[in-house]
Amino acid sequence: MASAFPPGPIDLHTHSSASDGTETSAKLVRAAADAGLGTVAITDHDSTAGWESASAEARRVGIALIPGMELSTRRGRASIHMLAYLFDPNSAGLVAETARIRSARLTRAEDMVQAIGADYDLSWDDVLAQTQDGATVGRPHIADALVAKGHSLTRSDAFAGILHWRAGYYLPHYAPDPLTGVELIVAAGGVPVIAHPATRGREGVVSEGELSRLVDAGLFGLEIDHRENTDDGKERLRELAAKFDLAITGSSDYHGDGKPNRLGENQTSPDVLERLVERSTGWTPVLPD
Ligand code: AMP
Ligand code: FE
Ligand code: FE
Ligand code: ZN
């Protein structure tokens, strides 16, 4: 099996314009090939809309594609992202839940834009102009509209300013709890990995009690090698991965021009990729002939 994967770096976390990346999913796969990757996963927020054209492009350019998604989950006020790989995109439970999340994201974005619009020249149409039809809407699209209207210099500038929760316009959106997320992914034959679990430092890392429940439900791994995990947080995550026998992944979280993250800047080992594929029952990787 593993020998069917082309040689080259493995990057298991990227976004296309089906969510908040700036490139179409076909362009994203071309960029991955141009960057010299052997394997790339497409993991748009709460959507599989990019899978089809990404798969066609991967066959065309001859790299391996792992179809995936980054599922929004929430525990209280904390947003927790759950990467999901090789699940059945038609699984009823996951289809219903992602539709609910996308709809909640849309309402939330409209409400945020209405509040921002009271203080800045910004309309919902300005945001739609920055959003691909049917895309999972998020703050990055509002950021792009703020940049287009001259209120912010870049996406990052908008996130540090107007879109920061401290600015007073931030609103949360509905998302299932992490355990439900893992259960839905596993029920769809997929393989769950917690995305960037240490962005809030060592103290913000998931507790052993919660992690053990997620592992019992089928959690496969932790995305430790990610630029937004802190160093002390990564150290804690390595202890937890050893204790619970979890796989360790590394990825870029590439968003095209929307973030500084570069394809392949963090990578996953071929051995972990092989175990991930063996664990999946919902979908198969797209491999070159
Ligand atoms: P949301 O889920 O709508 O609250 O938006 C969060 C998304 O914004 C994440 O998926 C990130 O990819 C993106 N994001 C967060 N911080 C930044 C930043 N400083 N610059 C660009 N994108 C960001
Ligand atoms: Fe994102
Ligand atoms: Fe994320
Ligand atoms: Zn991401």
Give the C-alpha distances (Å, rounded to integers) separating 123 from 19, 117, 164, 250: 20, 6, 19, 38
Give me the phi and psi of 70, to 5 degrees please.
-115, 105
Query: Cβ(20) to ligand 1 under 6 A?
Result: yes
Q: What is the pLDDT along the chain (289 residues), one digit of tens a residue?
A: 445 899 999 999 999 999 999 999 999 999 999 999 999 999 999 999 999 999 999 999 999 999 999 999 999 999 999 999 999 999 999 999 999 999 999 999 999 999 999 999 999 999 999 999 999 999 999 999 999 999 999 999 999 999 999 999 999 999 999 999 999 999 999 999 999 999 999 999 999 999 999 999 999 999 999 999 999 999 999 999 999 999 999 999 999 999 999 999 999 999 999 999 999 999 999 999 8
Q: Does the reported pTM lie above 0.95?
A: yes
Q: Which atom of ligand 1 sits closest to the CA of residue 108? A: 3
Q: Could you tell me which of 67, 44, 35, 5 has the C-alpha nearest to residue 255?
A: 44
Choose which residue among 110, 252, 259 to substitute to test ligand 1 binding: the one with the highest number of ligand atoms within 8 A of its C-beta: 259
Choose which residue among 13, 17, 20 to substitute to test ligand 1 binding: the one with the highest number of ligand atoms within 8 A of its C-beta: 20
Q: Could you tell me which of 84, 10, 28, 69 has the C-alpha nearest to residue 251?
A: 10
Distance of CA 25 to the CA centre of its chain: 14
